[in-house]
């Protein structure tokens, strides 16, 4: 029966059906959205069905991404003193702490009425914000590493000056005096030379 009717007959109905299904799916996704938690110890993302949840006697809930974080919590370690955590990295200036893109990540508990245009614009904005944040984070890391790079270059130059005889041939050093370190002349008084004479028996 479906073959007897032309294929163009069902296209408007299919497009309406897809829109209705898509609308219901979006509503279902909004109602049953995945809640991504943050690990209490290392601040990494904990996806649904993963990690460990610990409820203390005072009903405070702690979520951990893996057993490593849970064990460190049980050992009463401070996340600000453990080098691989986000808290340590932010405290010591290794990661960005203040940026306008972090404002978009805050939890908002007020419900929004579904609007397809708003959802599309939001998804486009999320991609742009992620790109901006990654660019700013890479710039932050480059600026942070600049000081270390200058210091390493100074140390390498000093090491090269001290060990230039290992790199250059002795004849080249004799011909070009700029390659050698300047020789320092020290005046030694006669009294010191007499004191250093070997003792006679």
- Rounded distance between C-alpha atoms, residue 174 and residue 146, angstroms: 37
- Rounded distance between C-alpha atoms, residue 75 and residue 67, angstroms: 12
* Residue 177 forms part of a structural domain: no
- Together in a domain, 120 and 160: yes
* Residue 1 forms part of a structural domain: no
* Mean of per-residue pLDDT scores for the chain: 76
- Together in a domain, 89 and 120: no
* Residue 90 forms part of a structural domain: yes
- Rounded distance between C-alpha atoms, residue 151 and residue 164, angstroms: 20
Res. 5 pLDDT band, cuts 50 70 90? very low
- Together in a domain, 154 and 124: yes
pTM: 0.47
- State which residues form the domain around 139: 116-164
> Using one digit for the tens of pLDDT, what is the confidence trace for 17-70?
333 333 444 333 343 467 889 999 999 999 999 999 999 999 999 999 999 999
- In this predicted structure, the answer to whether residue 80 has a pLDDT above a threshold of 70 is yes
Instruction: Give CA torsion, residues 161, 166, 171, 176, to 10 deg.
Output: -10
- Rounded distance between C-alpha atoms, residue 73 and residue 69, angstroms: 6
Tally of domains in the chain: 2
Most confident stretch, 33-37, 84-88, 135-139: 84-88
Asked if residue 101 lies in contact with residue 133, where contact means CB atoms within 8 angstroms, the answer is yes
Given this model, what pLDDT does residue 58 score?
A: 95
Instruction: Give CA torsion, residues 152, 155, 159, 161, to 10 deg.
Output: 110
Top-confidence residue, 58 or 153: 58
Asked if residue 67 lies in contact with residue 52, where contact means CB atoms within 8 angstroms, the answer is yes
Asked if residue 166 lies in contact with residue 179, where contact means CB atoms within 8 angstroms, the answer is no
Asked if residue 72 lies in contact with residue 82, where contact means CB atoms within 8 angstroms, the answer is yes
- State which of 38, 66, 97 marks the end of a domain: 97
- In this predicted structure, the answer to whether residue 105 has a pLDDT above a threshold of 90 is no
Given this model, what pLDDT does residue 78 score?
A: 96
- In this predicted structure, the answer to whether residue 2 has a pLDDT above a threshold of 80 is no
* Residue 71 forms part of a structural domain: yes
% residues pLDDT > 70 (the chain):
67
* Residue 26 forms part of a structural domain: no
Find the mean pLDDT for residues 163-177.
71
* Residue 152 forms part of a structural domain: yes
- Report phi then psi at 68, rounded to 5: -60, -45
48's CB contacts (< 8 A; 6+ apart) are 34, 35, 36
- Rounded distance between C-alpha atoms, residue 175 and residue 188, angstroms: 29
- In this predicted structure, the answer to whether residue 123 has a pLDDT above a threshold of 50 is yes
Res. 194 pLDDT band, cuts 50 70 90? low
- Together in a domain, 123 and 154: yes
Given this model, what pLDDT does residue 70 score?
A: 96
Res. 76 pLDDT band, cuts 50 70 90? very high
Given this model, what pLDDT does residue 195 score?
A: 59
**Partners of 113 in beta bridges:** none
* Residue 132 forms part of a structural domain: yes
- In this predicted structure, the answer to whether residue 120 has a pLDDT above a threshold of 60 is yes
* Residue 41 forms part of a structural domain: no
- Rounded distance between C-alpha atoms, residue 119 and residue 125, angstroms: 10
């Amino acid at each position: 029966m479906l073959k007897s009717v032309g294929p163009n007959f069902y296209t408007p109905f299919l497009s309406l059906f897809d829109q209705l299904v898509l609308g219901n799916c979006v509503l279902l996704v909004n109602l049953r959205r995945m809640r991504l938690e943050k690990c209490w110890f290392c601040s990494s993302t904990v996806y649904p069905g993963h990690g460990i949840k610990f409820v203390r006697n005072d009903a405070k809930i702690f979520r951990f991404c893996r057993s490593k974080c849970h064990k460190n919590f049980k050992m009463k370690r401070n996340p600000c003193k453990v080098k691989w955590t986000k808290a340590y990295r932010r405290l010591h200036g290794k990661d960005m702490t203040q940026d306008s893109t972090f404002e978009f990540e805050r939890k908002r508990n007020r419900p929004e009425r579904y609007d397809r245009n708003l959802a599309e614009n939001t998804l486009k904005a999320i991609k742009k914000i992620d790109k901006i944040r990654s660019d700013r984070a890479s710039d932050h890391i480059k600026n942070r590493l600049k000081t270390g790079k200058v210091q390493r270059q100074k140390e390498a130059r000093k090491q090269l000056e001290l060990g230039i005889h290992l790199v250059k041939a002795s004849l080249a050093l004799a011909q070009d005096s700029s390659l050698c370190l300047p020789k320092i002349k020290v005046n030694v008084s006669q009294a010191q030379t007499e004191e250093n004479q070997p003792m006679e028996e």
